[in-house]
Structure formats: structure tokens, C-alpha cells
Structure 1
Amino acid sequence: MKETNGQYIISLFEQWAPKSLAVEGDPVGLQIGTLNKTITKVLVTLDVNLKTVEEAIVNGCELIIAHHPPIFRGLKNMRTDLPQGMLIEKLIKHDIAVYAAHTNLDIASGGVNDLLAIALQLENINILEQTSSEQLMKLAVFTPKESTERVRTALAIAGAGQIGDYTDCSFTSEGEGRFKPSGLATPFIGQANELAVVEEDKIEVVFPISMKSKVLKALLTSH
């Protein structure tokens, strides 16, 4: 059975339904336990109750992804002789993490609202109220022509270049690059202290600011 880290699973999930989409005050995200562990089975549910937790225990699930957060308001106590405390105690004893995706999953493209609209065969669907927005960044990088396709592919896989319902969006322009490596440089192309002129492509892509680290890592790894 394939094993993977819980943080990796949630990072993939949040590419679809990022927490930033949730309405203000909605307690989405990890609520109980830790994601820094191996996950072999995930249980997906609407609500977290004793029946759900028992099912997770029986099936050996280390993570529950729930639509409704089991902890919606701050706890004043955690008495294990009361239902909520009993629930949390059972989850902790069996090392089961609980992650909640509520209004962010409602709002996400292809999320709960979209599925309901499809099921009801609604037409002329529009956003009633924008709950969040994220600043975009633009990356421009110059590459030798033989590296262009590899870099474009790596950036797209990292999530750069998604515009609306379109993915892998980028703009490429051709030109001549000129540079003279110093005596301390170890150039991939050209010789130290000699002016080099090479045919290059300029690749431009946009991406949400929250993906900056991931996109730059993909760039540096591929180029």
C-alpha cells in the first residue's frame, strides 16, 4: 500500500480549495491532530460524529477530511464526559487528524456550489458575491532555446499559468541574449571574460502570490 505524508495530501487538496477562499471567521484547516505523519487511508465526511470516528478507526484511517468543522467556536473546556470532549478524546487516542474544508470547498471551482448547480440543472450561473481575491505575480525568465520547453513544462506543473478555466498559459518571445562571464563565473554557455551572443526565449507566466516558492523552486530545478 502506498504511503504518503499528510501535509502533502493537504497541499494537493488546497490547490483546489485554498483556505483563502473561506468566508471570514470560518475555522477551516487542520483542527485536530497533526499532518506531519504517514497517511495510508483518508475518510471523507460531511460531519464528524462518533459513528464517523468509529468508522475511521475500524478502517484504519489516519486522516478525516470533513466539510463541517467539528470545532466551530473556541472551546471553553474539553470534558470527556460530554459529547464533544468524548469525540476529541477518541480522535487523539487513535491518532486521527481532522481537517475541515467548509466555505472554501463551497466556493472552489468544481466544489459544492458548482455540483449543486449542476444537479439542479441551473443555467446562467454567476457569482453572487466575491469573498476573496489573491494578488497575482508575473515571472519573466530568459532561457536558451533548447531549455524553453523543459522550463515551460516545469512551471505549468508547479501551477503557474492558470487563468480562469485555462491552464499552461504562457507567452514566449524570441531574441538575442548577450553576456560576458567574469573570471569567477562557471558559465553553462560561453567562456570566461568573453562576450557571448546566444539565441534565447523569454518566457512569461502569471501565478498567485501564495505559489511563489513552489514556482521558483520549479524554475531553479528545471533551469
Structure 2
Amino acid sequence: MSSLTSDAMTVADIRQILETAYPPYLAEKWDAVGLICGDPAAKVSKVAFALDCTQAVAERAVEIGADMLVIHHPLLLRGVESVAADTPKGKVIHTLIRGGVALFAAHTNADSARPGVNDKLAELVGITPGRPIVPKDPKIIDKWGMHVPADSLEAVKAAVFDAGAGAIGDYSECAFQWEGQGQFTPGQGADPHTGTVGKPYTGSEMRVEFVAPSNLRARIIDKLRSAHPYEEPAFDVVEMAPTADLETACGLGRIGELDEPMTLREFTQQVANALPETAWGVRAAGDPERMVKRVAVSSGSGDSFLDNARALGVDVYVTSDLRHHPVDEHLRAGGPAVIDTAHWASEFPWTQQASEVVAAGAKVECEIISLRTDPWTISAHPDGA
């Protein structure tokens, strides 16, 4: 990407650079990413970066003369009814607007992007980031099969094709079909298109198979049900393997291998040495002397991927915000060792990556706000322990 002069740069330009690196379509459905406040036409000569937009961070952004603040955790992820200046989030918004600072968030789209938050975490703990724990391929394809009476075949095919099914490359309305026998017995309350309530029915039906992008699944089901003559049409949908190379696919988490095996105790210390220091520190669950080599990482809260880590055969899983019962059950089920880091520590290093993305795309000043926004401030152990 060629650099632009600062005189030409606007909030919209910086947004485009960031959304190219961290495409919004990679964000989880529940997420809220993108420009939170600010005028897209406003000029930008300095961009600041932080993990969270706390009040202290907002004030620091104004103090250093930033025109735009890029964060990871969206300020308005959950709905609010007011941004009045006497509410916590409202005070942040008013501070930024009065100071002329636009606010932009790249959250789960930055987690899944390549390179993204998880690549930075993987590199820091000592592995080359490979495949995601949970791949996210926007081109996932469904393979469909449906059963239709012969006299309704063309109408039902037309309906699903109209919904976007059956496209392969430069070809449209692609399908394969053959004839077979369908059987059912209508129950009480049924209003069968063919057959009689309470009596088994066997008749000629067509089996039709086609493919469609998975994001059209709900639309195709609606069209199929509307056009099909049966009250309960028979169909099946199978999600095909991702089309992207798994080793380079976008998605949440990363898997890789250490150059040399080491004990869990040694690797836990390596993780602690690599990440920003916090009061929380780094803790691990598992046999301290267990040898580990194959590693999974997931930035931020990652206990929802414990089953995935076990299924993928890793030796140790590095993430944050782990809870007692999920970890206990995971280990009892034979899962890999786990390392629990502070949420802030696992993601803050991304700010360096994001600043490099912007610096490579525009001639603007970039500054990382190094305020620690990890909420935990004290960690205590018994005297003499």
C-alpha cells in the first residue's frame, strides 16, 4: 500500500487502511466494529493506539494531540440508552469529541485477520502462527439435497436458484438429479399433498443436489419451503470443508510448534517473560514437568475453545479469563495443559502491529498509549509462601 501525505489524510482514509487490514466481515455477528465517533472528513495528522478507551486513555489521546484513536475493545459493544456527559461512557465520548479525536475499533475482525491479534500473540510466546483454532472462511459452501415430487420439480428448483443456489464459477443453476421412491405415513392433523391420513404412501420423487454459499442457508430454506408442495419437505444440508488453506486461513486462535520441546513450567515462564507485566501474572494448569511442543493460542477470553484445543491435539493452550469449572472438566477429560494470562496482556501487543499497519499506509504520526488498562492492580500470596 503506498503512503499518502498527512495533508491528504482524513479519518475516512485511516478507516480504509484499517478495514483493509482487518476486514469488517471477519467480525463475529455480535460484535460492533468500525468508526464509533468522529467526522470521516476530518483531517488526521496523528493517530494513537490503545487496547481500551478508558477515560484516562481518552484524556491522554487529547493531551498528545491525536486526531484519531484506534482501540481493540469497542467502547459501545453493548447497547446504551444515553451518552450524556455524566455517564461513564458518555464522558469518554464527550472528551473525545471536544478534543477532536475520532474513535475506531477493530475487535474480533482483528482477532481473525492475518496478521492480527492472534498472530502477534503466537509470535511472542515462541511459535510460528499456523492454522486457526476456529477457521473463518467467507467462502464456506453448503452441499444440499432435497426430495421433490416430479410435478413440482421445476418450480422448486427455480425458487432455490432464485435465492442464489446452484452457482459454480461462471455457471448458474447447476444441479444433479435422479428419480427414486419416497415413503411416508401422514399422521392425525396432517394435510398431505398426496396420500391419505393414517395410510402409508409410496410415490415417485426426484432427488436434487446443488451447492450454495453457507451465508444463503436461511434464505434458501425459506424459498424451498414456500415453493415445495409438502407440509414437511425433506432436505439435507452438509457444510463442506473450508476452501482456504487451513495453515493460512483467517479465524480465531492460532496453532504452532515450539522450536524445541520444554516443560510446562519452562514454557509458562517463557510466556510470562514475553507478555507485558501485570499484577495478575501468568498461571498454568497441568503437570509442571509435562513436555510441551505443539501450542494453541487464543487472545482474550478463550475458554469456549477448550474443546477445540483438545480435539486438535495440542500439548498446551494459552488464553485468558479461564474459569475454575471449565478448566477442571477440561483436564479431567484428558485435555492439554492450559496457561491463563491477563486478558490485557494477551492483546495489548497488537497495538504495535496496528500502528505499523497505519504507518505503512499513510504519512501520519503514530503513538501507542502505554497506559495499562488491565483492571487488576494487586496479586497477593500468603507471607512466606
User: Do Structure 1 and Structure 2 share a fold, with TM-score over 0.5?
Assistant: yes
Q: Residue in 2 aligned with 1:179?
A: none
Q: Deviations over 1:118-143 (max 9, x none)?
A: 112236832222334159xx9xxxxx
Find the aligned partners of 1:123 and 1:55 in 2 and give their Cα distance: 35
Q: Residue in 2 aligned with 1:81?
A: 86
Give the one of 36, 41, 44 matched to 1:36: 41
Displacement of 1:78 in angstroms is 2.1
Native 8 Å contact 2:15 2:35 kept in 1: no
Distance 1:123 1:42, change over 3 A: closer
TM-score using structure 2 length: 0.34
Native 8 Å contact 1:20 1:132 kept in 2: no
Distance 1:123 1:97, change over 3 A: closer
Q: Which amino acid aligns with 1:125?
A: G
Where 1:38 maps in the other structure, the secondary structure is: coil
Q: Deviations over 1:84-117 (max 9, x none)?
A: 1111111122221100000111111121101111
Larger radius of gyration: 2
Q: Which amino acid aligns with 1:73?
A: R
Where 1:65 maps in the other structure, the secondary structure is: strand
Distance 1:12 1:18, change over 3 A: same
Unaligned segments of structure 1, at least 5 residues: 139-162, 166-223
Q: Residue in 2 aligned with 1:112?
A: 117
Distance 1:83 1:69, change over 3 A: same
Q: Which amino acid aligns with 2:6?
A: K
Distance 1:121 1:78, change over 3 A: same
1:10 equivalenced with 2:15 (yes/no): yes
Displacement of 1:67 in angstroms is 0.5
Q: Residue in 1 aligned with 2:318?
A: none
TM-score using structure 1 length: 0.57
Native 8 Å contact 2:11 2:102 kept in 1: no
Find the aligned partners of 1:52 and 1:65 in 2 and give their Cα distance: 11
Identical counterparts, % of pairs: 30
Where 1:39 maps in the other structure, the secondary structure is: coil
Distance 1:124 1:58, change over 3 A: closer
Q: Number of matched residues? A: 141
Find the aligned partners of 1:58 and 1:76 in 2 and give their Cα distance: 29
Q: Deviations over 1:163-214 (max 9, x none)?
A: 977xxxxxxxxxxxxxxxxxxxxxxxxxxxxxxxxxxxxxxxxxxxxxxxxx
Q: Residue in 2 aligned with 1:158?
A: none
Q: Residue in 2 aligned with 1:97?
A: 102
Displacement of 1:70 in angstroms is 0.7
Unaligned segments of structure 2, at least 5 residues: 141-168, 170-243, 249-385
Q: Which amino acid aligns with 1:12?
A: I
Question: In angstroms, what is the RMSD of aligned CA positions?
Answer: 2.6
Displacement of 1:47 in angstroms is 0.4
Where 1:99 maps in the other structure, the secondary structure is: strand
Q: Residue in 1 aligned with 2:209?
A: none
Native 8 Å contact 2:123 2:129 kept in 1: no
Q: Which amino acid aligns with 2:16?
A: S
1:69 equivalenced with 2:74 (yes/no): yes
Q: Which amino acid aligns with 1:95?
A: G
Where 2:121 maps in the other structure, the secondary structure is: helix
Q: Residue in 2 aligned with 1:23?
A: 28
